[in-house]
Chains A and B, each alone.
Chain A
Amino acid sequence: MEISTQEFKHCDMIKVKGRVDSATAPQLAQALESANHNGKHKLVIDMSELEYMSSAGFRALLAAQRNSKKYNRGEVVLASVPDRIREALELAGFTELFKTFDDPLHAVGFF
């Protein structure tokens, strides 16, 4: 798994590549926590090159959404969610907790 961050005027984009499971989810959780810690609460997660995500990754996203939405200071949105991952998120009832966008630039434009 690889994580890269790009700053935009009104939000930050965190790109997650590869596979997120119980071994790698702590790294994702840490990246999201550190963004929140630095006052970044408007976050786009670019999943266009994400191959796999288990519930360990879902938990990291949930924690970040809670943190970001506190005091209405922001929100985590998902972009370019691959089909298999979208299906698993739906099954977990997560698609109601996150806005999703077909491509990262539309997600950036949302903020």
Chain B
Amino acid sequence: MHTVQFAAKFEFLDEIRDFVGAIARDAGFADRDVYNIQLATDEAASNIIEHAYEGVTTGLLEISCGVKNGDSIHVTLVDHGEPFDPSEVPDPDLDADLSERKIGGLGIFLMRKLMDEVHYHAGPGNSNTLTLIKRKA
């Protein structure tokens, strides 16, 4: 597992996507999977920056990424902001018409759909751990 600490700011999303993308590509994931792993990680990180660290400018986001058993990539995001369990966010209504379409929850929905597993754990010392797992197709 490789671990990198990022300042919890949107301007680092590019670097965060590059970090997980390089590991996924080296592990032999197909281009489509690499894109989707980057997108899911971006949505998870964006959500932490926007909600867990709302109003906080000095937050840190620690991201670990690695491949297990040669066929599944694990991305773990650890923050020390407000606890937030994405599994409690209801799916958006994708059949709603334009005027009723909800803006919120879309990123979380994409993250859940794009990955095979998503786990949230509120740990000691105010830490939140979100793990995203995707297996090779």
Co-complex (A, B): yes
Contact across chains for B103 and A59 when beta carbons are under 8 A apart:
yes
Q: Would you call B19 an interface residue if the criterion is a C-beta within 8 Å of the partner chain's C-beta atoms?
A: no
Partner of A21, one of B35, B42, B103: B42
Contact across chains for B92 and A21 when beta carbons are under 8 A apart:
no
Binding site for B on A (CB under 8 A): 19, 21-23, 52, 54-56, 58-59, 62-63, 65-66, 69, 83-84, 87-88, 91-93, 97
The CA of A93 and the CA of B109, in the complex, are separated in Å by: 11
The CA of A59 and the CA of B36, in the complex, are separated in Å by: 18
Contact across chains for A59 and B50 when beta carbons are under 8 A apart:
no
Chain B residues within 8 Å of chain A by Cβ, number: 29
Segment of B64-72, B79-87, B93-101, B128-136 in the binding face: B93-101
Contact across chains for A54 and B46 when beta carbons are under 8 A apart:
yes
Chain B, residues 91-134, CB within 8 Å of chain A (1/0): the string is: 01011001101010011011001100000000000000000000
Partner of A93, one of B32, B43, B94: B94
Contact across chains for A59 and B106 when beta carbons are under 8 A apart:
yes
Q: Would you call B88 an interface residue if the criterion is a C-beta within 8 Å of the partner chain's C-beta atoms?
A: no
A-B pairs, 8 with minimum CB distance: A93-B94, A23-B10, A55-B107, A22-B46, A22-B10, A55-B106, A84-B35, A21-B13
